[in-house]
Structure 1
Amino acid sequence: MIFKILTGLVDEAAVVKTKAEHYMARFANDEITVFKHWSEEATYLYLAKGKRAAFVGMTGPPTLDKIEEAAKRLVMVPEDPLYVPLGGPQPANYSEPAEGFEKIPDLVKAAIDAAEGVERSAGVVHMTYIVVEYRDTAGRSGSYSANRVYLAMRSFIGDLSATSTSAGRKLADIKAEEVGKRNAQILHAAKGLPQVKIEPRRADVLLSPLVFGHLIGELASSWASGSEILAGSSRYTKDDLGKEVASPILTVLDITSDKAAYGFTPFDLEGVPTRPIEIYRKGIFAGVLHTRRTAHALGMEPTGHALRNWAMPSPGHIYIAPADGPADAEELFRELKNGYYIHNNWYTRFQNVKTGQFSTVGRDVLLEIKDGKPVAFVKFVRIADTLENVVKNIAVLSKEISQVYWWDMPTPVHAPYAVLKNIGITT
């Protein structure tokens, strides 16, 4: 129907329709307080006439007026310097049934019960079933359906708090007991310790998978995106491919095509199949995320990463390879020796994207470590440094990784614990 409306108004068109069913359980004081279900529907249009192109998003079913208005506005749009005709391989077809939501309360109970000795816990389980259909005037079409779910829980002892998460594709993937145990472990380590204030300094830090994964997700979105490289906003250029730019123990991939990843997406908004992309390979800048437009402009191949819009490629799910560091938090404290353990973060902001100058606020408990043991806890701490120092100063990565995600993260990740040397922290 949409293509019939557009006949004669545009030369090319692509339509992406999405439908999502959401199930959410919120809990506080160890009890579920809200259990809700809602649906979302959206339509995304790519329209081109000559070399003029426009991208339009609509919530709910598309209307005749909105479609015609979008097509007519093309005459007011300048020619797109990155224009490429529609085309490419056929999108994959993938289908899976919707996951049942009945066991969500069981996950909540398992996480709460595993947080032994804490006073109370609060959090959310959010499950989504998404159905996506793609069709374009080049004769390409495809569809997929997928489940995604994450659990985020914050536990408290007095004024101390700790947050942990687990993500996956099905309820059975969620490691609820580990979430509860991690929170309890950190809170009991901090309980009874004195609170100290710190002056701005450079120090060694141990980052949890939640924090380290968050920062690498930010980096992938800004420095490994083909559109950012073209705009000159990335720290890297095409000429940096193959150069050592990070710690030799750092290997990072985008694994959006992996069916086990929370962010699994078979094809992007251009109908291009996603594929795994190495961003760092043992410290070497190895790959760039692309749409068809950015790939053509840089003389590379599309990677299927028009995931949020047609204009800017972005990561869908990041995988940070483990190394040979300890898996247990207490052993990692000994590996850190002297420094600070940061368990969670939020409010990440950039002062300069190209240089990677950022700050992020330490949320919840932060432990001061001396001689491998917690000796105090700190509040109101901010990491203030550059992403370049983050990736270059990695000294240890744990041998085990966790799949984590929550609403404040830019991208879902598989991430290890990481010890970073000489990082800027302030209050």
Structure 2
Amino acid sequence: MMLLKLIRERVDEAAVVKTVVENYMARFANNEITVFKNWTIENTYLYLAKGRKTTFLSATGSLSVDQVEKAISRLMSLPEDPLYVPVGGPKPSDYSEPPEDFEKIPDLVKKAIDAAEGVERNAGVIHLTYTKAWYEDTTGREGSYSVNRVYMTVRSFLGELSATGAIAGRRLSEIRAEAVGRENSQILSLARGLPHIRVESGVVDLVLSPLVLGHLIGQVVQMWANGLEILSGSSRYSKEDLGKEAASPLLTVVEKTYDPSVYGYVPFDFEGITPRLVEVYKRGILGGFIHNRRTANAFGTESTGHALYGWARPAAGHIDIAPGDGPRELDALFLDLKNGFYIHNNWYTRYQNVKTGQFSTVGRDIALQIKNGKPAAVVKYIRIADTLENVVKNVAELSKEARQIYWWDMPVPSTAPYAVLRNIGVTT
């Protein structure tokens, strides 16, 4: 890239990443598409090193000469970087796939709406992206890739009740829009005519949808299994915890950004490193952490290829929660739960203490009280209020099937099943 030629004589090391993301989005409300648009976002990211001093900068579009000059001047006055590691590694592998046909998007919207039988109206979004990225550094390593990603959310309404379903994949043909519509219809039909109650604070048993389970386990991976958070002392875990029992023996969680079939896949990260499989939990045993080259060097290990959004902090791109032996059908899971609550979606996750994982998250849309294995009431204003450690340790059952899911309030795209959790705190 021309940018490296301009600065090669001014610094010891440099790396440039350029991304171009083509976005195609359809929004719909009241069963009609209200917005169908496309836009492109270009970004340039630059890493600079002089001795053991480092700095990073980024810009929408291209970096100007003035921005680069200021960054180099700032670099000279910075202290040494305690996580400095020389630029290097295997050559990034090139990968290219053609863009998806965005004109098929309206067909998926129609399928979802048609499948949501018995509801009054539907709203939602389908968002397709085609990402192209280029990497080059001063050691001569360079590579490029192009990948598709798509997710869909549908929110269905019946009176004052609502239910949100989501699905994600790499291609439009993988989006089973009708399944999302049917799921919303099923949940709303279960709630139709039930009395409305408020939850009392206490410890209860729960069934969590894939959306909720994926959200919470994503929080665990991003914060507790993250090399930088461990080094800074913000994580519940340390290197000494590897190989120890840390979760339910039913829980196996794998970071799968390396997998070409998942939403979030990339052939290489911001350091030009190919992501690799990380078993965060293997049947409840803490198995690994996500790293970039900087944190891996501090741990005395190799990068897992998770410098996904910049050089400073590792990040997860897709987590896979292995399914279990539980039933596929929601009514059968309610029978296994017996008494407790079903939470269909959540948002506004907040922390009282990140290190201990003390959190609360608000139930969004439908939540159901389950009595003797059957829905008994619609619950208003329910909030899970507990610790992440209790979440991962108290998994009592996982459904046989898992699916790829993502929506804008999830921390990490996920493949997740339904889950039964025992003895979890809730409040209003």
1:5 matched to 2:22 = no
Deviation, structure 1 residue 379: 1.2
Deviation, structure 1 residue 57: 1.0
* In 1, Cα distance between equivalents of 2:310 and 2:384: 30
2:290 match: 289
- Listed one character per residue, the Cα deviations across residues 299-324 of structure 1 (whole Å, up to 9, x for unaligned) are 11110001122111111000000010
SS in 2 for 1:177: helix
* In 2, Cα distance between equivalents of 1:50 and 1:234: 30
* In 1, Cα distance between equivalents of 2:81 and 2:225: 22
1:204 matched to 2:215 = no
- Listed one character per residue, the Cα deviations across residues 322-353 of structure 1 (whole Å, up to 9, x for unaligned) are 01001111111111110000000001111111
* In 2, Cα distance between equivalents of 1:403 and 1:365: 21
TM-score (norm 1): 0.99
Question: What are the equivalent positions in structure 2 for 1:222-261 lying under 5 Å apart?
Answer: 222-261=223-262
1:366 match: 367
* In 2, Cα distance between equivalents of 1:277 and 1:218: 16
The answer to whether the Cα contact below 8 Å between 1:5 and 1:68 also exists between their aligned partners in 2 is no
The answer to whether the Cα contact below 8 Å between 2:199 and 2:381 also exists between their aligned partners in 1 is no
- Give the partner amino acid of 2:115: A
Question: What are the equivalent positions in structure 2 for 1:334-373 lying under 5 Å apart?
Answer: 334-373=335-374
The answer to whether the Cα contact below 8 Å between 1:9 and 1:72 also exists between their aligned partners in 2 is no
The answer to whether the Cα contact below 8 Å between 2:317 and 2:412 also exists between their aligned partners in 1 is yes
SS in 2 for 1:96: coil
Question: What are the equivalent positions in structure 2 for 1:71-110 lying under 5 Å apart?
Answer: 71-110=72-111
2:138 match: 137
1:14 matched to 2:15 = yes
- Listed one character per residue, the Cα deviations across residues 262-283 of structure 1 (whole Å, up to 9, x for unaligned) are 0001111111111111100000
Question: What are the equivalent positions in structure 2 for 1:250-399 lying under 5 Å apart?
Answer: 250-399=251-400
Question: What are the equivalent positions in structure 2 for 1:66-215 lying under 5 Å apart?
Answer: 66-215=67-216
Q: Which runs of 4+ in 1 moved over 6 A?
A: none
Aligned length: 427
- Give the partner amino acid of 1:168: G
SS in 2 for 1:69: helix
SS in 2 for 1:103: helix
The answer to whether the Cα contact below 8 Å between 1:42 and 1:59 also exists between their aligned partners in 2 is yes
1:409 match: 410
TM-score (norm 2): 0.99
- Give the partner amino acid of 2:367: L
- Listed one character per residue, the Cα deviations across residues 20-76 of structure 1 (whole Å, up to 9, x for unaligned) are 100000000000000011000000001000100011111112211112221221012
Deviation, structure 1 residue 8: 2.6
Deviation, structure 1 residue 392: 0.3
Deviation, structure 1 residue 127: 0.3
Deviation, structure 1 residue 7: 2.8
- Give the partner amino acid of 2:190: A
SS in 2 for 1:82: coil
The share of aligned pairs that are identical, in percent, is 64
Deviation, structure 1 residue 4: 2.0
- Listed one character per residue, the Cα deviations across residues 145-185 of structure 1 (whole Å, up to 9, x for unaligned) are 00000000000000000000010001001110110011000
1:63 matched to 2:64 = yes
Gaps of 5+ in 2: none
Deviation, structure 1 residue 113: 0.5
* In 1, Cα distance between equivalents of 2:373 and 2:5: 68
SS in 1 for 2:196: coil
Q: Over aligned residues, Cα RMSD in angstroms?
A: 0.7
SS in 2 for 1:196: strand
* In 2, Cα distance between equivalents of 1:388 and 1:123: 33
Deviation, structure 1 residue 203: 0.2
- Give the partner amino acid of 1:314: A
- Listed one character per residue, the Cα deviations across residues 390-417 of structure 1 (whole Å, up to 9, x for unaligned) are 0000000001001000011111000000
- Give the partner amino acid of 1:147: N
SS in 2 for 1:330: helix
SS in 2 for 1:19: strand
Deviation, structure 1 residue 354: 0.6
- Give the partner amino acid of 1:408: D
